[in-house]
Amino acid sequence: MKKKAAGRSLRLVFAGGGTGGHLFPAIALAEEFKRRDPGSSISFVGSRGGLEEKIVPKYGWPLKLFNVEGIKRKKGLAALRAAAKAAMSTVEAVRFLRSVRPDGVIGSGSYSSAPVVAAAKLLGMRTAILEQNALPGLTNRALGKLVDRVYISFEESRRFFPGGRTILSGNPVRRDIITRLEDRRGRAERFSILVFGGSQGATAINAAFLDAAEYLTDIWSGLKVVHQTGNDGFETVSAGYKRKNLKVEACKFIEDMGEAYNSADLVVCRAGATSLAEITAAGLPSILIPYPFAADDHQTVNARSLERAGAAVMIKQEGLTGAVLAGEIRRLYGDAQAMKSMRERSKALGRPRAAQEIAENFSRLII
């Protein structure tokens, strides 16, 4: 495999996306490479219709889109069509990579990363993948057998990949969040709860927390609640709090998550890999409600990992009620020692330097 010419800035391609869980770690890592070498050339590759089509241009990175779709769970003609698109995308990726001539290609997961990483391997380029979850997806399990490095976020996923090429690095967190965490202020007088279900909100979490408020009215004056509802849930949730005469900072979307983490004592959210990377980087206790329809139920595996470590409490969605959620909140509100222990264990799991460690390791492969 060719080494980068001495004195020349890096050329890198990031492949993958589809969801924020795959996309934002890649963006965080790209930011770190750019911070280390401002002259570096970085491009993203994704699929048409994926989240990357909207998000990547906002960060100023060049974006190449392929017409590719997932094969998993497809049968008959649908599976053949998906396989044909993957093959055509691989041929297109070979042409693209030959024109860009990157020093390395890093896949961040999802089916859109497979053709690009496979093409890079065919061309003899250095390759790596980011595995954000405790239970790897089908694409990364396959690519893990081919690439030069596999960067994992959970020890539980190590068994799926070749031992000598797999590194427990953590999941890269965006620089703007890390910077905020490094500038942490003292805790507020009231017990601060941050509630969110991802950038689009989560109907089940919105409804359960709104119901939980009924059971917490006697301690509400000692609580500060920041609730990201998502666009669709905002009107319903806001009206619900108003009807209950409860003061809450409800919003459709939180632009500055670093600031939100900075002022939180407890987080109530899903168990997506990016959220967990941010929560543990902040050293925050959490009540995790895994999304039950995630591929292979990987969010439950993620949440169980934090729960076993003593950093979080998991409530499965089928057992989620306002009374159950309120009971856990009340218990933690009244138990300073339990909160202290959870903070320490969350912080022990956090890897705020994940992006730096991956950038350093992958750069050594290239230079």
For residue range 25-44, list pLDDT tens digits in order: 999 999 999 999 999 999 99
- pLDDT tens-digit profile of 301-319? 999 999 999 999 999 999 9
Tell me which of 3-12, 110-119, 173-182, 268-277 is least confident.
3-12
Is 37 exposed, middle or buried, given 0-12, 13-18 or 19+ CB atoms closer than 10 A? middle
User: Any residues with CB less than 8 A from the CB of 186 and at least 6 apart, and which?
Assistant: none
- pLDDT tens-digit profile of 193-244? 999 987 556 899 999 999 999 999 999 999 999 999 998 899 999 999 999 9
Question: Could you give the percent of the chain with pLDDT greater than 70?
Answer: 90
Spatial strand order in the sheet of 63-66: 63-66, 41-47, 11-15, 104-107, 126-131, 149-152, 166-168
Whether the model pTM is above 0.85: yes
Domains of the chain: 11-173+352-366 (3.40.50.2000), 177-349 (3.40.50.2000)
Half-sphere exposure of 293 (CA within 13 A, CB side): 2
- Backbone phi and psi for residue 325, each to the nearest 5 degrees, phi listed first: -65, -45
Count of residues for the chain?
A: 367
| Neighbour tally for 287: CB within 10 Å | 22
Q: Which residues pair with 249 in a beta bridge?
A: 226
- Backbone phi and psi for residue 35, each to the nearest 5 degrees, phi listed first: -65, -40
Helix 76-100, helix 114-122: angle, nearest 10? 50
CB 286 within 8 A of CB 267: yes
CB 227 within 8 A of CB 147: no
Q: Dig out the tokens for 238 from the structure.
A: 């806001």
Q: Which residues pair with 42 in a beta bridge?
A: 12
Query: Can you give 138-174 as a three-state secondary structure string?
Result: HHHHHHCCCCCEEEECCHHHHHHCCHHHEEECCCCCC
- pLDDT tens-digit profile of 47-87? 888 889 999 999 999 999 987 666 566 566 665 676 677 67
